[in-house]
Amino acid sequence: MTVIEEVELCFPQLLNASCRKPVQNRAETVLLHVLLSCISVLTVILNLLVIISISHFKQLHTPTNFLLLSLAVSDLFVGLLLMPIEILQIGSCWFLGIVICQVFHYCSFILTSASVGNMVLISVDRYVAICDPFCYSIKVTVKRVQLCVGLCWACSVFCNAVILMDFLKQPDGYNSCHGECVVVISFIHGAVDVLLTFACPISVIVVLYMRVFVVAVSQARAMRSHVTTVNQQRSVCVSKKSERKAARTLGIVVLAFLICFCPYYYPSFAGQDSSSSDAYSFFSFWLLYCNSCFNPLVYAFFYPWFRRTMKLTVMLKILQPNSCYTKIL
């Protein structure tokens, strides 16, 4: 006796034109929903704390912190908009329509590129601050930083419109049935994306942070060589501690970037078209999104002021009158 397995369709009224609903283990799907929802909530909370801290406290209105603010804004939208939509699609069909599919993927590329651009700007800012500290206040001003941030976002919007040109013209061109939201990037456009969003940024970040590390170490050693014999042992310990901290920060920044971005750009390195429809793509997309959760930890949590403002925010002390003038630094 033949058993006919009932197939559940995304859009039963469309019959053969509809996609089949994904068949997944219910327990695994629930567990995945819970895990990814926790990542989304953590991403929103951490970046929101950075945004509130820098926006509220007047003492933190510096060029460097405005760069951190822009980075936190892009990462906040990843956790607030992109992650929840991705979670809703696990074990389900795409019910939001072609237009939302188009906007979703376009925003995903824009926010990722803007986040990377902000990381590059932060590395440039740190380079100037360490390697040319006497001219830092002249070269890096609030207006110049705001201009650079604006250009970063504008370039992200324009460049990704070019990269996703085919998809934006025909968003359902690679959908095999109703109930899918698939974006495929050609090898050429993928190569441009790799160059602009991965290869060039990671090269700039590594070169500048290595230069910052070398200068920081040389300055620490110069200070150590000028101390008296009485304080020599203590100075050696402080200097070595500073060197280890600089090296650790550099390693964390580069390692986090590589871990989050390499899997996503592997198909482009391998000469393959990038698709959003397979399991590997799902994994690489989420690892890329996790970078938005790591950024506030890597770029803000190491600052003592962030830990102080986080406590003040969680304890709701920012609601007190004149709390914005609280001495943080």
Q: What's the confidence (pLDDT) of residue 41?
A: 95
Does residue 162 belong to any structural domain of this protein?
yes
Q: Is residue 10 part of a domain?
A: no
Whether 1 maps to a domain, the answer reads: no
Residues contacting 108, CB < 8 A, separation 6+: 82, 285
Q: Strand ranges (DSSP E) for the chain?
A: 184-185, 274-275
Torsion of CA 255, 260, 262, 263, to 10 degrees: 140
- Residues paired with residue 185 on neighbouring β-strands, in sequence order: 274
Residue 230's pLDDT is 44
Residues 6+ apart with CB under 8 A from 239: 220, 221, 223, 224
**Number of structural domains found in the chain:** 1
User: Residue 199 carries which DSSP code?
Assistant: I
Asked if 215 contacts 131 with a C-beta cutoff of 8 angstroms, the reply is yes
The tally of CA atoms less than 13 A away on the side-chain side of residue 141 is 5
pLDDT at 243: 52
11 within some domain: no
Indicate whether 31 belongs to any domain.
yes
Q: Which amino acid is at 289?
A: Y
> Going residue by residue through the chain (329 aa), what tens digit of pLDDT does each one get?
444 445 677 777 766 777 787 777 778 888 988 999 999 999 999 999 999 999 999 988 989 889 999 999 999 999 999 999 988 888 778 888 888 889 999 999 999 999 999 999 988 988 888 888 888 888 889 999 999 999 999 999 999 999 898 888 888 777 778 878 888 787 788 788 888 888 899 899 888 888 887 887 776 677 666 654 445 445 445 445 555 555 566 677 778 888 888 888 876 666 555 555 567 777 888 888 999 998 888 877 777 888 888 888 888 888 888 888 888 87
SS3 percent helix, strand, coil of the chain, rounded to 5, is 75, 0, 20
- CATH code at position 44: 1.20.1070.10
Residue 230 CB contacts under 8 Å (≥ 6 apart), including other chains: none
Q: Is residue 241 part of a domain?
A: yes
Residue 60 amino acid letter: L
178 beta partners: 18
> Residue 7: inside a domain, yes or no?
no
pLDDT recorded at residue 15: 64
Instruction: Flag whether 6 is in a domain.
Output: no
Beta strand 184-185 with 274-275 is antiparallel
| Cα separation, 219 vs 238, whole angstroms | 12
**Per-residue pLDDT tens digits for 269-311:** 665 555 555 677 778 888 889 999 988 888 777 778 888 888 8
The pair of three-digit structure tokens given for residue 69, joined into one six-digit string: 């603010």
pLDDT at position 172 is: 79
Alpha-carbon distance of 165 to 189, in angstroms, equals 9
Please tell me the distance from the alpha carbon of residue 296 to that of residue 283, in angstroms, as a whole number.
22
Given this model, what pLDDT does residue 76 score?
95
Q: What is the predicted pLDDT for the residue at 228?
A: 46
Residue 268: the pLDDT is: 65
pLDDT digits (tens, 9 = 90+) for 40-94: 999 999 999 999 999 999 988 989 889 999 999 999 999 999 999 988 888 778 8
Give the structural domain span for 316: 17-325
